[in-house]
Amino acid sequence: MIKKISKKRGFTIIESLVAISILVVAVVGTLTAVQSSISSHIYSKDQVIAFYLAQEGFEHIRNLRDQNRLNGLHWLSGVAEDSDDPCSFGNACIVDPLLVYSPTRCSGVGNCPVLRQDNEEGYYGYHASWSPTNFKREITLTSVNENEIAITVEVSWSKGLVQREFRARENLFNW
């Protein structure tokens, strides 16, 4: 019996190129999905931080209103009662949550300083010894009527070349 020896002993170049192409497409697709997932995670994390920073701004202004009421003062005393107050209507201001009474006027709308973070405790504020963050918080008050104001808190941040912002509005009443 004579054995027929086949001369076909491996893959052709075309078969190899097709196999490599399929492998490259599978790897690139997976890496793209992973990169997109990480990017979405970072954006979501920053958006949650921005939400809580905005909420903190509302709470601070509300607390100042309540303190004024308890002390028998005008409900916007030291906040926006007259044009010399830091958060007077048409001006942007910042508040430092670690200081009981801390509204400070920004040098203009859009010119508020960046928030800083205490690396040990995780607090956000404006203390010079803390590390700067990507976040800026700007609070503006608008008079609705004699007994109501609209508080707008805008938190902005950037990642690379992308600028993001979270803006929230809430009304506060003199009660």
Question: Quick one: pLDDT band at residue 38, thresholds 50, 70, 90?
Answer: confident
User: Model pTM?
Assistant: 0.77
Domain residues of the chain, as ranges?
Answer: 14-173
Between CA 77 and CA 55 the distance in angstroms is 21
Question: Looking at the predicted structure, is the pLDDT value of residue 133 above 70?
Answer: yes
Local structure of 160: helix, strand or coil: coil
Q: Does residue 40 or residue 25 have the better pLDDT?
A: 25
Who wins on pLDDT, 84 or 10? 84
What sign does the dihedral 175-90-157-29 (CA atoms) show?
positive
